[in-house]
């Protein structure tokens, strides 16, 4: 995070600058390749807020999914962080650093969050207030993501739809607010992107999710194609496609494609200075989905090298998006100068 970004966002208070900088460092560690290029698709003044959204969402997800912690420990950490965050959002900062680098509540007890977690909470709470994000949206996100602590499957698509809407679509709506939409229609487009991306990821991560005991394909869809969860588990472990599984994947691909089609013109409905980010998200999501289709819907075929190739391809696409973005900004600056605007 550069001081230029912080200055452009109007962040002058030292503790807020530290909070946003902490979010950027965390994301750099977690997504060292794609993260810097992605954020560069936004104007400098919006990049810190983007960091706050991603860092907070990722950290909360980590609290719920931490494989190194017992379930009861994850519950305690999550609930402690949730309580602390909403106190902060209400204007009462529950963290009072005592100099040892460990965040503590005012009663002196330890909080279930690391130093990073304190930064993310402060940055995200500031983003919520600055961009008028409804508190109910944040509460819906927190309430829904905590269900990952005990829900391991979804009987119907309606059940999965509620989960995606609560966890993923809320984040897309926060991002949409940051992009400064030009009408109410943009919100629906942003939510459609999140559905398309999640349904695609659920296919690509099927084996990984089943390994930790979770299934994000509705049971009614398994039944539709004559499958049971045990058969799906065995096929995933053996990386073996069966015809019923291929038909299931084809069905899910068509469902995800419809969401991407709905979201295709999201970028046209936001501030032109920020439009490249939603354009690239939809494009890369579609590309990932079409790779599955081109592999004859075999989600196990050649995944590791294919995944690497896609990473390189995606980085190239984001780079050209960045050039288009900076080109438009330079053109606006030149126009402004030639007309006396500088």
The model scores a pTM over 0.75? yes
Q: At residue 342, does pLDDT exceed 60?
A: no
* pLDDT for res 275: 95
Q: Is residue 222 over pLDDT 50? A: yes
Instruction: Provide the pLDDT for residue 301.
Output: 85
Band of the pLDDT at 316, cuts 50, 70, 90? very low
- 9 falls in which pLDDT band (50, 70, 90)? very high
pLDDT given at position 152? 96
State the pLDDT confidence band at 28, using cuts at 50, 70 and 90.
confident
- Mean of per-residue pLDDT scores for the chain: 85
Greater confidence (103 vs 20) lies with 20
Q: Average of pLDDT values for 94-108?
A: 46
Percent of the chain whose pLDDT exceeds 90? 73
With 80 as the cut, is the pLDDT of residue 97 above it?
no
Residue 242's region, left for phi above 0, alpha for psi from -120 to 50, else beta, is beta
Mean pLDDT lowest among 10-14, 16-20, 131-135, 319-323: 319-323
Which pLDDT value is given to residue 302? 60
Between 96 and 297, the more confident residue is 297
When mean pLDDT is compared across 66-75, 161-170, 231-240, the lowest value belongs to 66-75
Which CATH code is given to the segment(s) 151-307? Answer: 1.10.600.10
Domain boundaries, the chain: 1-134, 151-307
Give the integer Cα–Cα distance in Å for 74 and 92. Answer: 24
Q: In terms of residues, how long is the chain?
A: 342
pLDDT confidence tier of residue 120, bands split at 50, 70 and 90 = very high
* Interval 29-51 mean pLDDT: 83
């Amino acid at each position: 995070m550069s001081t230029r970004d912080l200055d452009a966002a109007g962040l002058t208070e030292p503790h807020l600058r530290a909070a946003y900088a902490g979010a950027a460092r965390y994301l750099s560690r977690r997504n060292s390749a794609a993260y810097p290029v992605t954020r560069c698709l936004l104007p400098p003044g919006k990049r810190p807020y983007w960091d706050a959204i991603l860092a907070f969402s990722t950290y909360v997800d980590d609290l719920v999914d931490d494989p190194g912690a017992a379930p009861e420990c994850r519950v305690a950490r999550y609930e402690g962080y949730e309580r602390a965050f909403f106190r902060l959002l209400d204007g009462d900062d529950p963290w009072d650093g005592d100099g040892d680098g460990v965040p503590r509540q005012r009663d002196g007890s330890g909080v279930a969050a690391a130093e990073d977690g304190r930064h993310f909470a402060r940055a995200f709470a500031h983003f919520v207030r600055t961009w008028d994000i409804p508190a109910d949206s944040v509460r819906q996100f927190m309430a829904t993501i905590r269900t990952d602590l005990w829900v391991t499957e979804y009987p119907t698509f309606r059940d999965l739809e509620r989960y995606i809407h609560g966890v993923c679509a809320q984040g897309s709506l926060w991002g949409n607010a940051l992009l400064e939409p030009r009408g109410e229609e943009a919100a629906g487009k942003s939510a459609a992107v999140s559905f398309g991306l999640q349904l695609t990821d659920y296919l690509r991560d099927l084996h990984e999710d089943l390994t930790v005991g979770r299934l994000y394909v509705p049971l009614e869809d398994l039944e539709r194609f004559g499958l049971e969860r045990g058969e799906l588990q065995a096929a995933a472990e053996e990386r073996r496609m069966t015809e019923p599984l291929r038909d299931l994947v084809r069905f899910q691909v068509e469902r995800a494609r419809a969401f991407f089609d709905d979201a295709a013109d999201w970028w046209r409905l936001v501030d032109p200075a920020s439009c490249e980010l939603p354009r690239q998200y939809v494009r890369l999501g579609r590309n990932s989905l079409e790779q599955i289709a081109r592999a004859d819907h075999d989600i196990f075929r050649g995944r590791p090298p294919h995944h690497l190739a896609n990473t390189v391809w995606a980085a190239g696409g984001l780079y050209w998006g960045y050039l288009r973005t900076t080109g438009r900004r330079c053109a606006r600056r030149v126009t402004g100068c030639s007309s006396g605007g500088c």
